[in-house]
Amino acid sequence: MPAGTIACVRALAAAAGGLFMAKDISGKNQTGTKPDLTAETRESGGGPSSPGRRRFIAGLGAATAAVSAGVLAPIVAASSASARETSNLPTQSVFGSAPSSTALPASVTKKRVIEAFKLRLSEATQDAHVPPAVNVDNRDTARYADKGGTYTKGLPHDSFGQVDLNAFATFTNALNSGKFSDFEKIIMGGTRKLNGPQSGLAFDLEALDSAQFGQPQVPPAPKTASDQNATELLEHYWASLLRDVAFTDYGSDPLAAQAAVELGAQPTYFGPRNNSGEVTPNLLFRGAFPGETLGPYISQFFITPTELGAQPLSQQMVSYLPNIDYMANFADWLTVQNGDVTGLQDQIDPQLRYQRNGRDLAAFTHLDVLYQAYFTAFLVLNTIGAPPNPGNPYVGSTTENGFGTFGGPDLAGTLGEVATKALNAVWYQKWFVHLRPRPEAIGGIVHLIKTGHGNKTNVTLSPVILNSQGLQESFNKYGTWLLSQAFPEGSPLHPAYPTGHGTVAGACITALKFFFDGNFVIPNPLEPSNDGLSQLPYTGPDAGQLTVNGELNKLGHNVSFGHGIHAGIHWRSDTDTSLLLGEAVALSFLRDRARTCNEPFTVDLTKFNGRTATISNQVNP
C-alpha cells in the first residue's frame, strides 16, 4: 500500500467528524392530505406498537398512550435495579417552548400548505401521546463511592485509576443541567475530548423523541460485580487472544476450543448455543438473532463484490498488522484513562484483505463512516438482484416505478437519515441514563485485585472472571491482568452502553428490510480464505439457507462486535441491546414517514425477534 494511503488512513482514524471514533407503534389517524388513510406500525400477535423512551424536554404535556405489549423481552438479564425518571432537562433552544396557539395562520390559504400543516400537527400530537420512559440504570454510580463502576474515562485519575471526585462532580453537573456552559466547565484529565454528549439532547422532528425509547429494548446494564458482567469480560479476554485467528480456523484452533468450553460452562453466557446447549468454536462471538448461526462468520454483505455507480468495490479492506496489541501495561492504561495519548499508532497492513478475523473487523470499525456497512449492503442487494419488499406499492405496476419514494434514491437517503436519528437516541442512553464503564476500565480493576491492590477500589468482581482460564491465558501472553486493546487509545470517549455502531446497525438494517424482500436467498455465497487474500465459494450444507434477513442480522453483529468484543471496547450486552434500540427508532421513523407518502401501501418486515412488524398508511391493512 502506498505511503500516502497509509497516512490518509491514519488521518481518518484520528478524525472525529462524521465517524464513530473520536480518535480519536401506535396507530395514528391522519388529519391531512388523505383523511381516509391511517399510518400504523403493528406487530403480529399484538396491537399497535410504539416503543417509547424519554421525556420531551420542551414540555409537550402529559402523555396518555401506553406503550404496547408484545415486544421482544430483554436479552440482557435485568438485575434488581431502582427505577428513576430521567430529569426534565431544560432546552437551550429559543424554540424550546410550544407556541401559544396551534391554529392555522390566517394568511395561509393554499390547500396543500394547509394539508401539510395539519399532517405535521397530527404527527407531533400523536407522537407526544407516547409516554416518556422511566429509565432504569444498574445503580452502580450510587453503589460505589469511588465511582469505580461508572464511566469516568477522560477525567483525571490517581495513580491507581480512581477518578478525581471533584472532576467527576463537574461532569455529572453538566449531565444534570444540560447546559452547554456546564459542559465547557468539566475538568478533563488530558488532551482528548468527550465525544459529543450533547447530541443526546437533540430533538427529532420525524420520529419519537430520544427520551421516548427505552425498556424493554434498553434494560439496565449488568452490574459491574455481577456474574453476567464477569462472563462478558471473560469473553473479551478470549476474543483478545483469538484476534488474529481466522474465523474459518476456529473449528481446528485449540485456543478457540478452550474458549468455547469455558464460556459454554457459564450460565450467564448469552451467546448462541447448539441444540445440545453447547458453545462450539464455530459459534464463538456470534449473535443469536435468526439466521446468524448459519453459514460463514462473515456476512455476505461484507464479502460480495459490488459497485458504487461506475466504481467497482471488491470488498477488500485495510487492516492492521497481527500480534500488535495495546494498553497491556499499567502506565499506558492509566495514561489512556486520563484522556491522554501514548504516542503509539496502529500499524497498518500494506496488503488489502477480505475481512477474515477479529482484528480485521476491528480495523473496519475504527475507520468506518456512520452507515457505511449498510450502504454497501444496499449496493450488494442491487448487485445480486434482490427483489423489493412485496409490500412496495410499485410491485406489479406496468406504468411507473419508485424513485423519490420507494426507489433507490429514497433508500440511499433514508439510510443516512435514520442513522443520525439512531445515533442521537443512543447518545441519550449512554450519557444521560446508564454511564456504563468500558471493558478496559474493568480490566484495570481486575489488575488491581490480582496484583494485591484490591483495597484501592470499592468495586468487587465475580470469581467468574478472577478465577478464569481466559484471564490466566491473557496474563501468560501479556504479563499483566489488563485487557489488551486493538487500538492505542482503547475506546472512544463516551460510555459503553448501548453501542453507537449497534444502534445505527439496528436502524439501517430495519430500513433495508423495509425496502427489500428479506426472504430472498442469497445466490452463490462466499467466504474469505484464512489469509484474507481471496474469496472462496461457501459450500456448507446450509449454503442454500442464507437469506437477506439472516445476513443483515449477521452484518449488524459483525460490525458491532468488531467494534466491541474483537476490539475490546464494548460488551456483548451493549450490542444486543443497541440493535433492538436501533430497530425501535427505525420503526418509529418509518411509521411517521408513512403518512407523508401519496402511494397507499402496507409493508411487512421481520424484526430481530422473528416477529412481523407492519408499516402501513391504509385503513385496516
pLDDT digits (tens, 9 = 90+) for 410-419: 999 999 999 9
515-547: burial string, b at 16+ Cβ within 10 Å, e else: bbbbebebeebbbbeeebeebeebeeeebeebb
Contact 299, 554 (CB under 8 A): yes
pLDDT of 172 over the 60 cut: yes
Contact 593, 265 (CB under 8 A): no
Contact 201, 57 (CB under 8 A): yes
Contact 412, 405 (CB under 8 A): no
Specify the pLDDT at position 5.
Answer: 44
Neighbours of 25 (CB within 10 A): 29
Specify the pLDDT at position 1.
Answer: 53
pLDDT of 544 over the 70 cut: yes
Confidence of residue 215 (pLDDT cuts 50, 70, 90): confident
List CB contacts of 137: < 8 A, sequence separation 6 or more: 81, 84, 220, 221, 433, 434, 435
DSSP calls for 5-27: HHHHHHHHHH--TTBS-------
pLDDT tens digit sequence for 548-560: 999 999 999 999 9
The matching CATH number, chosen from 1.10.10.10, 3.90.420.10, 3.30.360.10, 1.10.606.10, for 3-294+321-345+394-517+544-616 is: 1.10.606.10
pLDDT tens digit sequence for 311-327: 999 999 999 999 999 99
| Beta-bridge partners for 612 | 606
Interval 139-143 mean pLDDT: 97
DSSP calls for 229-278: HHHHHHHHHHHHHTTTSBGGGGGG-HHHHHHHHHHHT-TT--S---TTS-
pLDDT tens digit sequence for 484-541: 999 999 999 999 999 999 999 999 999 999 999 999 999 999 999 999 999 999 999 9
Q: Which has the minimum average pLDDT: 82-91, 196-205, 226-235?
A: 82-91
Tell me the domain boundaries of the chain. Answer: 3-294+321-345+394-517+544-616
> Residue 528 is inside which H or E element, if any?
strand 526-528
Cell numbers placing 122: 397530527
pTM over 0.75: yes
pLDDT of 27 over the 70 cut: no
User: For residues 161 and 50, what is the distance between their CA atoms, to the nearest angstrom?
Assistant: 42
pLDDT tens digit sequence for 66-122: 323 332 222 233 333 333 344 455 444 444 444 556 788 889 999 999 999 999 999
Q: Which has the minimum average pLDDT: 82-86, 116-120, 247-251, 265-269?
A: 82-86
> Smallest Cα–Cα separation from 549: which of 602, 497, 510?
510
For the chain, how big is the Rg over CA atoms in Å?
24
